[in-house]
Structure 1
Amino acid sequence: MKRDIILDTAARLFAERGFSNTPTSLLAREAGVAEGTIFRHFKTKDDIFLTLVTNVKNQLISDIEKYLEVRTPESSMEKVVSIIKSFYVFVKKNNMEFCLIFRDAPTRYGHRNDNVFLQIQQIYSYLTEYLTQALEEGKQDGSIRSALNTKDTAGMVVSLVVGLVRAMHFGFVEPSDDVLRSVIDNIRHMLTCE
């Protein structure tokens, strides 16, 4: 229970102030625990950050799986659209947590063997692999054009959608369902037109 309070408080403070501007003394005070309690649950402040990013990754994967289970897309194209929509909705709903990934992770962790980097890479890999599978299925069922390089296209779509939600997060693009609809319409066109 104290561990969860520490994590919730850290997520809020890191989102509000940034990782570097959140000393553990403030975290302890805001969480209502002694500073030593933090270190009974986590080795370092970096360990808290890693735990938060790992939790976001795990929840994202779980939510996408549940969304597709409930929605059961009728075609592979609809599966592609569902993956995009579920990612978009998840990021919108978990904006505070994604602040860690969008703002603090790139500046704090950039080494390819860093655990935070690896967790974020797993988000990209999961989305890319899932989209690649849906695109391959679409080539089989005829809902996706057959000449498409599925792996490269999946990577481009993931980059586009991640870039979109990141731009929205920073206020460069106004968040709206119209923007998402436009992106999906363009992706449909790209995937189906010869």
Structure 2
Amino acid sequence: MKRDVILDTAARLFAERGFNNTPTSLLAKEAGVAEGTIFRHFRTKDDIFLTLINNVKNQLISDIEKYLEVRGPENALEKLESVIKSFYVFVKKNNMEFCLIFRDAPTRYGQRNDDVFLNIKEIYTYVTNYMKDAIDEGKAEGTIRADITSQEFADMLMSTMVGLVRAMHFGFIESSDDILKTVIESFSKLLTK
């Protein structure tokens, strides 16, 4: 229970103030626990950060799986559209948590084998692989052009989505379902015969 309160409070404070500007003394005060209690549950403040990133990753994967199960796409193009929509909706819904990824994560990992980096890469890889598989499936069923390079197109699509949600997060562009619709329509036109 206290562990969850610490995590919820840390997510809020890291989103509001940034990781570096949130001392564990403030975290303890805001969570209503002693500072020592934090370190009974987590080795370091970085361990709290890693746990939050890992939780975001696991929830995103779970939400995409649930969305696809409920929506039940009929063909590969619809599956691709569902993955794009579920990623977009998840990031919008979990803006506070993605603040950690967009703003603080790049300063929290130093090496490509760092746990924070690997968790964020796992999010990217998971979604990209789902897109690639949908493109491959569409090529096999004839709903997606055969001359498309599946991995490269999936990487381009995921990079576009990451850039889009990042730009919305920072307020460079206004969040809008019209933007999502335009992205889906544009990529659908590129993919279809």
Q: TM-score, normalised by structure 2?
A: 0.99
Query: What stretches of structure 1 move > 2 A for 4+ residues in a row?
Result: none
Q: Shift of residue 140 of structure 1?
A: 1.0
Shift of 1:12: 0.1
Which residue does 2:176 correspond to in 1?
Answer: 176
Q: 1:132-151, aligned counterparts within 5 Å?
A: 132-151=132-151
Which residue in the other structure is 2:18 paired with? Answer: 18
TM-score normalized by the length of structure 1: 0.98
The one-letter code of the counterpart of 1:42 is F
Deviation per CA, 1:97-128: give whole Å up to 9, x if none.
00000000012224201100000000011011
Gaps of 5+ in 2: none
1:45-93 Cα shifts (integer Å, max 9, x gaps) = 0000000000000000000000000000011000000000000000000
Structure 1: how far apart are the matches of 2:113 and 2:71? 36
Distance 2:35 2:143 in 1: 56
Which structure 2 residues correspond to residues 71-150 of structure 1 after superposition, within 5 A? 71-150=71-150
Partner of 2:166: 166
Identical counterparts, % of pairs:
72
RMSD (CA atoms)? 0.7
Aligned counterparts of 2:187 and 2:84: Cα–Cα separation in 1:
10
- State the partner residue of 2:51: 51
1:77 partner amino acid: L
Q: Which runs of 5+ in 1 are unaligned?
A: none
Partner amino acid for 1:86?
S
